[in-house]
Structure 1
């Protein structure tokens, strides 16, 4: 890649909870001080996690430059008109620092334990595509009308509008070709992921590895066309650093295919930084998300070395 075409490194981190409001605010400020661009939260009912809108609001109030967002809102959990109102308000309160991560919803356990219908991947994807049109429409100026299969909106002119115009930046996960193509058409950021099985219980065992990862990049490139250069492409870093015992090494050796991708960064700080430089300089990835903030201490030196460069 031509050095002039390289996008600067950006880093996000997924944070799920803290013991107190003070701890949460201090965590957000530390993440900002290290050089991360974005604090992200997941959207699930099960597990020890804060609710994202309240958590992101608190993080925004505790910081001044840190962007806040989700990885990702699950469309099936809330109506897009309700979500649009909440997010427009959050964009105003954060002074335009909101990144909106969006997905269909996928984790079967959430649906089963909350009593929600778990529809087929096709239905969930089609409903999500409609919801995306509703969000963008409600955030636009003037009354919005939409008559689809899943949503019916009649002359809604909702305020406030987001500060970011025409709407906040959109982040999409992408594992399968349908979502990758949609992300390529609409996304500002794309987080390359492993595909999930249709039943929503586990990662698809047929996916993964270096070649599959490159194929996802090419799917995005082909679908995006002229807008590809404006997309910030990246992935979540699942494993970092040097394991401290044999058990950790064994856990990291369960799928050697993923070691070839930027989702696994093993070694010292220089090793990790060099691998990320390879993926940025050779394949155009520049936005890397630390999957778990328990690894913050191990990954912080990499962020401090590369962020913005």
Structure 2
């Protein structure tokens, strides 16, 4: 089994001055990676990650995740390779097809159908990998064209830094199965009152089994090489000795927001819900690795999860 890895997540509203102390703290606590999201209303992720890399020694830096439609892939490849060089080969590339329509609307970028956005991402990944390889390359796609382009610099990690792709639908997970080194098992999105929200029906253990089946089918022989990640969806991590009480509160909120209701056992069993005592959570992570092969977890509360990370990181 793969050793446990914990990713330290930063809230979009975190003060910039707090990022460096937080990164140093994460490294000291045993977190394996420090990740930033990619939204127009918050920090651009790559510049702060370069600063994080300069003040840490072992901590990996990554994006969770880049919106492919905000940058041309050849320009992004240059920035990512530069960051991999600056970090001494500690970069993880999380990239997705984009999902937050209001951001697109605000800056006049067409918000295409999910199928088109996945095709755009598929082409972008091919270009990124072409840029990371030695020598000039060309690419002729429906959305991008590259002609005899020799991209520099090259990343330290060869043939390229690990790609992290996360999603909840079959089309996206099929792409991830073919291209990613790390796959994030995510919920599917539904629209409620004009806003995208996570579909609670797709965070259950049964839904996770289905997603892994899609990935296994598409990945073929490389399935055993893939690392799997999950992250909190229905709400933040809650450390408590009364998990069923907190679970019921969360079920009520999810039902009010989406109209769908999970049982307490479904919620507590979900790979996307972290509620319980440190002992409960340690047992849960061990079970998720045993049952689903999930060994990577995004953590949104470093202090609350300190006993869990201390017990499991690298094990």
> What TM-score do you get using the length of structure 1 for normalisation?
0.90
Q: Which runs of no fewer than 5 residues in structure 2 stay unpaired? A: 253-261
Distance 2:202 2:291 in 1: 22
Distance 2:107 2:99 in 1: 13
Contact residue 88 and residue 161 of structure 1 kept, 8 A: yes
Query: Which of 50, 71, 77 is the matching residue for 2:70?
Result: 77
Query: Which of 98, 109, 118 is the matching residue for 1:105?
Result: 98
- How far off is 1:20 after superposition? 4.2
Alignment of 1:87-166 (within 5 A): 87-166=80-159
User: Is 2:297 the counterpart of 1:304?
Assistant: no
- How far off is 1:51 after superposition? 1.1
- How far off is 1:197 after superposition? 3.3
Contact residue 233 and residue 286 of structure 1 kept, 8 A: yes
1:241 alignment partner in structure 2: 238
User: Is 2:276 the counterpart of 1:267?
Assistant: yes
Q: State the aligned residue count.
A: 298
Coordinate RMSD, CA, aligned: 2.1
Indicate the larger mover: 235-244 or 157-166. 235-244
Query: Which of 6, 23, 28 is the matching residue for 1:28?
Result: 23
> What TM-score do you get using the length of structure 2 for normalisation?
0.89
2:288 alignment partner in structure 1: 279
Q: Which runs of no fewer than 5 residues in structure 1 stay unpaired? A: 1-5
Q: Tell me the secondary structure at the aligned position of residue 7 of structure 1.
A: coil
Contact residue 36 and residue 307 of structure 1 kept, 8 A: yes
1:252 alignment partner in structure 2: 250
User: Is 2:195 the counterpart of 1:208?
Assistant: no
Distance 1:69 1:178 in 2: 24
Indicate the larger mover: 107-116 or 131-140. 107-116
2:257 alignment partner in structure 1: none
Distance 1:40 1:19 in 2: 15
Deviations, residues 248-277 of structure 1 (Å, cap 9, x unaligned)? 665422344333212112111010000000
Q: Tell me the secondary structure at the aligned position of residue 35 of structure 2.
A: strand
Distance 1:109 1:244, change over 3 A: farther
Distance 1:285 1:244 in 2: 24
